[in-house]
Amino acid sequence: MRRTLAALLVEAARAHPEVLILTGDHGYALFDELRKTRPEQYVNCGVAEQNMVGVAAGMAKAGFRPIVYGLASFIPIRVLEQIKLDVCYEGLPVIFLGDGAGLVYSTLGASHQCFEDVAALRPLPNISIFSPADRFELVWSFKRARRLNGPSYLRLGKADLGDVHAEPLPDEFDHCVRGVIDASRENVCLASGSMVAISKRVIEREGLDYDLYSVLKLKKLEPQQILDLCQGRKRIIVVEEHSIYGGLGSAVAEIIAGRLQCSFQIGGIQDRFTEHCGTYEYLLSHHQLDEAAILNLLQTH
Amino acid sequence: MSTVASANQSFDPIALRQAVLDMAYNGSSVHIACAFSIVEILAVLYRKHLRYPDGRYDHPLRDYLVLSKGHGVMAQYACLIEMGWIEPGAATNYFKDGTRLHGLSEVGIPGLEVTSGSLGHGLSVGAGLAFAAKRRNTRQMCYAIVGDGEANEGPIWEALLFAAQFKLDNLIVIIDKNNYQAMGLTSEVLSTEDLETKLVAFGFDATTIDGHDEGAIDSALSIYQSRKDGRPKGIVAETIKGRGISFMENNNTWHYRRLSANTYGAASTELRRRSR
């Protein structure tokens, strides 16, 4: 997924001279090729994220198409007000890339773990939010975001979990939700980001009676599409590597509340910080988002 | 490119202050003193320096005026009325239900480039605009008006570092040093003293002037526009908060106080007396 992102950035910069890629001194190897081939379109703004977002707004006002890269803990969390006032209020076409969202930086602790980004951004008018689950969804999300005439956020989580789709999403695909297991089963699991791959493994291995859909665009969801997918199911389970407050689960609940009679539960990070240091897998287990916990959620709910 | 100001646009500071008083009285608004300290700076900019090709506030090749200290917006509204970009009735309708003009700078109003008032935002946006203009070699200037109280904000200093790093010599940062912020003297709240020294230390070409001396403002702007030496420019404009009305000058209650019929009358009378 990371290699795909690097290639997308180079491709966008090559094709469009008005694309500027801004970073707050993060990214390491991600920008190697870009710096080599399009150095003038790579702008390292230093460890000064608030200024970087204001600068991106100014660039966008003047007709450039900035892509702002950072870790999700900083872009969007540290700079939320800049995104709101400098970018969203005017509806400027700035793409924000929030890398390492969720528990990816498991060993770096609370400063780098981020499970509140979607909740923080969802109430801001004008912004679109994407949460790709694999490289195919990343390509689709990036291209969609590039076509928008307003701000967008790409939530980039754990990047090495493999593909969930067998092939690229067709260019004409224009929905928020993409089927992964689409077999008219009794129950439905809606997942985003890393949780799509993990839920897929569990459902396939255990042969659970669940369809699985990847929600790759979290804002705006299409209410009718969500209702159609959920209609007539016995159980609806939402799984996300994000707080149970304000993320995909909340967004789905806002749509189905009062409209559907069914069992509904959100699997996500409870109201607490991570207590211990450890691997990504350890933290998934700690927050009950590993395969065993997902299996438990899907089976016993 | 030419300036849009025509012969009948004088941007007379006394008339601008009267327009501010009218708005503030009609809208029962605060921040009058914040607007009064930047009247001469805005008057000189609009009268002589800001270039709006075809008289268009949205022309892609316009100069940019960024009011980072959004609290002074009434002074800018007064100029925008004179530019003909907002209707004169805006002064009498200020703050009425369903009207457009807010108490702080907001994009979407012709002539306002940034949404500010949450402080420390505008200068960064201005740096982005200056970056874009330099990248395109358009000769556009960007003027950013920052408050000395606003300089409490961290992003101001991030933006100064950025401007120097990217050699934004088309950016002129004008610091309205009126020595006060909302709750008291800046020196007593969170001091931003020695601003010129600070600007120079950050890589700026900087100077200090009397911010109410129109000749000094004009001269500093003219010198800095032509000095393309890779350094961003800083003008520390020493001003008086509440300038122009004796009972408001250096009386920080006028950051928040609203005009009564009496104070509005007294202030208007004082302006009329000065204009003779």
Q: Is the pLDDT score of B276 beyond 80? A: no
* Residues of chain B found within 8 Å of residue A55, distances taken between Cβ atoms: 124-125, 127-128, 131, 159, 162
Q: Is the pLDDT score of B94 beyond 90? A: yes
Report yes or no on B41 lying in a domain.
yes
Report yes or no on B230 lying in a domain.
yes
Rounded-to-integer distance, Cα B211 and Cα B118, Å: 24
Report yes or no on B6 lying in a domain.
no
Q: Tell me what pLDDT residue A197 has.
A: 98
Report yes or no on B8 lying in a domain.
no
Rounded-to-integer distance, Cα A173 and Cα A68, Å: 25
Rounded-to-integer distance, Cα A79 and Cα A180, Å: 34
CB A199 within 8 A of CB A239: yes
Domains recognised in chain A with CATH numbers: 2-155 (3.40.50.970), 177-300 (3.40.50.920)
Q: Tell me what pLDDT residue B64 has.
A: 98
* Residues of chain A found within 8 Å of residue B121, distances taken between Cβ atoms: 54, 81-82, 85-86
CA A51 to chain B, closest CA, distance in angstroms equals 5
The answer, for B91 touching chain A at a CB cutoff of 8 Å, is no
Q: Tell me what pLDDT residue B1 has.
A: 45
Inter-chain CB proximity B60 and A56 less than 8 Å: no
Residue of A45, A55, A89 to mutate, interface with B, max B Cβ within 10 Å: A55
* Residues of chain B found within 8 Å of residue A85, distances taken between Cβ atoms: 115, 118, 121
Of A46, A64, A89, the CB nearest to B115: A89
Q: Tell me what pLDDT residue B45 has.
A: 98
Q: What is the mean pLDDT of chain B?
A: 96
One digit per residue, pLDDT tens: chain A, 301 residues? 999 999 999 999 999 999 999 999 999 899 999 999 999 999 999 999 999 999 999 999 999 999 999 999 999 999 999 999 999 999 999 999 999 999 999 999 999 999 999 999 999 999 999 999 999 999 999 999 999 999 999 999 999 999 999 999 999 999 999 999 999 999 999 999 999 999 999 999 999 999 999 999 999 999 999 999 999 999 999 999 999 999 999 999 999 999 999 999 999 999 999 999 999 999 999 999 999 999 999 998 5
Number of domains in chain B: 1
CB B199 within 8 A of CB B234: yes
Rounded-to-integer distance, Cα A22 and Cα A258, Å: 44
Per DSSP, the three-state class of B212 is: coil
Q: Look up the pTM and report it.
A: 0.96
Rounded-to-integer distance, Cα A196 and Cα A294, Å: 11
Would you place residue B265 in the very low, low, confident or very high pLDDT band (cuts 50, 70, 90)?
A: very high
CB A191 within 8 A of CB A214: yes
* Residues of chain A found within 8 Å of residue B127, distances taken between Cβ atoms: 51, 54-55, 58
Inter-chain CB proximity B121 and A61 less than 8 Å: no
- Looking at residue A80, its amino acid is L
Provide the residue range defining the domain that includes B167: 13-275
The answer, for B203 touching chain A at a CB cutoff of 8 Å, is no
Report yes or no on B1 lying in a domain.
no
pLDDT digits (tens, 9 = 90+) for A18-51: 999 999 999 989 999 999 999 999 999 999 999 9
End-to-end CA distance of chain B: 36
CB B104 within 8 A of CB B48: no
Q: Tell me what pLDDT residue A98 has.
A: 98
User: Which percentage of chain B shows pLDDT scores above 70?
Assistant: 97
CB A251 within 8 A of CB A217: no
Report yes or no on B2 lying in a domain.
no
> Which chain B residue has the Cα nearest residue A61?
B129
C-alpha of B235 from chain center: 12
Chain B contacts in chain A segment 63-122 (CB below 8 A): 63-64, 81-82, 85-86, 89-90
Label each residue of chain A as H, E or C: CHHHHHHHHHHHHHHCCCEEEEECCCCHHHHHHHHHHCHHHEEECCCCHHHHHHHHHHHHHCCCEEEEEEECHHHHHHCHHHHHHHHHCCCCCCEEEEECCECCCCCCCCCCCECCHHHHHCCCCCCEEECCCCHHHHHHHHHHHHHCCCCEEEECCCCCCCCCCCCCCCCCCCCCEEEEECCCCCEEEEECCHHHHHHHHHHHHHCCCEEEEEECEEECCCHHHHHHHHCCCCEEEEEEEEECCCCHHHHHHHHHCCCCCCEEEEEEECCCCCCCCCCHHHHHHHCCCCHHHHHHHHHHC
Is this complex scored with an ipTM above 0.85? yes
Tell me, what CATH number does B207's domain have?
Answer: 3.40.50.970
Rounded-to-integer distance, Cα A128 and Cα A152, Å: 4
* Residues of chain A found within 8 Å of residue B107, distances taken between Cβ atoms: 89-90
Rounded-to-integer distance, Cα B133 and Cα B131, Å: 6
Q: Tell me what pLDDT residue A198 has.
A: 98
* Residues of chain A found within 8 Å of residue B59, distances taken between Cβ atoms: none
The DSSP bridge partners found for residue B185 are: B180
Q: Tell me what pLDDT residue A84 has.
A: 98
Report yes or no on B115 lying in a domain.
yes
Report yes or no on B3 lying in a domain.
no
> Which chain A residue has the Cα nearest residue B138?
A62
B249: which 2 tokens? 């000058």
Q: Tell me what pLDDT residue B273 has.
A: 94
Residue of B114, B119, B125, B171 to mutate, interface with A, max A Cβ within 10 Å: B125
